[in-house]
A and B are shown apart, each in its own frame.
Chain A
């Protein structure tokens, strides 16, 4: 059973528009959520995170929203740029446990 789900394997967005990547989780004990970005042949790189006590965290073009009642988080990228084309992983953790990842969403930014 997957505790972190990214239901969209891929997403295509026009350059300059907003990209919205979604993530759902089932474990209500998760207390910290992270987004990672991965290019081919490279390891994931940390993008942005949010604690379960917050509902929004913003860092430049990236904003993560957390809806605890719906067990849902989303990553907004505004404006989308060609370099944003990558696979995005949502991850969650509780306490000092290891990260639980979703299967990823391949974001394609169209020129």
Chain B
């Protein structure tokens, strides 16, 4: 079974630009979560999508948005990029049964550098 894939793996943008990251979950997984990892803050939860609906949201500004398609693939968008947005963005998929916490499977991440 293929794992979680994220594209692109590396990205360089300049301040003020916008960026879209893509995540393909494990086949059959309907939940996709996004996390930001920085050296100073560690791993921080951005949002979770389930069946094309945002189910949970972390404490990030509105410049960070996402969506999920009918095939469970998800995209994350960051508008008006700031230097502080430079980070590793991780996507995780899980099969949510609704009866507790399910194990999340992480992709390799997209390394975003904002110049």
Report A86-97 CB contacts with B as 1/0, cut-off 8 Å.
000101010011
Q: Does A111 contact B (CB under 8 A)?
A: no
Contact between chains at A43 and B47 (CB < 8 Å): no
- The answer to whether A44 touches B44, judged by C-beta atoms less than 8 angstroms apart, is no
Let me know if A43 and B45 touch, CB within 8 A.
no
Q: What distance in Å separates the Cβ of A76 from its nearest Cβ neighbour in chain B?
A: 20
Interface residues on B, range: 20 to 34
Q: Is B58 an interface residue (CB 8 A)?
A: yes
Q: Which residues of the other chain, B, contact A22 by a CB distance below 8 angstroms?
A: none
Q: Which of A71-109 contact B (CB under 8 A)?
A: 89, 91, 93, 96-104
Contact present for B45 and A46 (CB under 8 Å)? no
B95 → chain A, closest Cβ, in Å?
Answer: 13
0/1 per residue, B26-70, Cβ < 8 Å to A? 000000010100000111111110000001101000000000000
**B25 interfacial by beta-carbon distance below 8 Å:** no
State the Cβ distance, B108 to closest chain A Cβ, in Å. 5
Interface residues of A, Cβ cutoff 8 Å to B: 32, 34, 36, 41-46, 49, 89, 91, 93, 96-104
5 cross-chain pairs, A with B, having the tightest CB-CB distances, nearest first: A43-B106, A103-B42, A98-B45, A101-B43, A32-B101
Q: Besides A98-B56, A103-B42, 20 other CB < 8 A contacts?
A: A32-B100, A42-B108, A43-B90, A43-B108, A44-B43, A44-B106, A46-B104, A89-B43, A91-B43, A96-B55, A96-B56, A96-B96, A99-B33, A99-B45, A99-B104, A101-B44, A101-B45, A102-B42, A103-B43, A104-B43
- 5 cross-chain CB contacts under 8 A: A36-B106, A46-B103, A96-B56, A101-B43, A103-B41
